[in-house]
Chain A
């Protein structure tokens, strides 16, 4: 029986093409980045612990949380600069400058006479 088996094994089989090797090599060449395997329970425990520490530290030493009123900016809130498109002289550098401030509420308009050629 053993001789018969050996004879059967000797019959030559069709071989895969070199193209298959290339295809599989290409497939295996794309290595995934190594990622640190973290157990989900350890991750959950770390989150819980961090939360507890933060809450305890905040309630012991820190101030109680309070709403902060939003305040309007004190300085210049708006500044608009106009050029002089109506001027027939394309080199007229005269401009108008609007500034608005709060506290006190004030709008300042200034005209800067520019040089003309």
Chain B
């Protein structure tokens, strides 16, 4: 089947099989910032925003995303103009091997959009679908707190 996907604001005409998941389609299109982890929706490394809603792309059949807007971590900021969340992750040392980082950043983005001033408990709750095998959770939570402060003062 064929259709269009809008990825980070760029519309693409694609062909796909009816049983393909969004994760595979995005990676085949070169979006390797969307990481393949567990393929069960348990690790959060493949998170994307689908029409602004946080989803595990390994748990989304790609055909159901046709005609919709997909945002990967590269859609939030660029190397030269990073998003405040991305800056906060770098500044607090919340990035170790980096594999979980795209998912962590997107989960943080989804949290702060709904709740600009989350408590530590709310941060932990929002990130509980994201696994970091380097176990750098303390720094990650620090990064979310810093990003929240900065985004609230910029608003």
Co-assembled chains A and B:
no
Question: Which A residues fall within an 8 A CB radius of B?
Answer: none
Question: Which B residues fall within an 8 A CB radius of A?
Answer: none
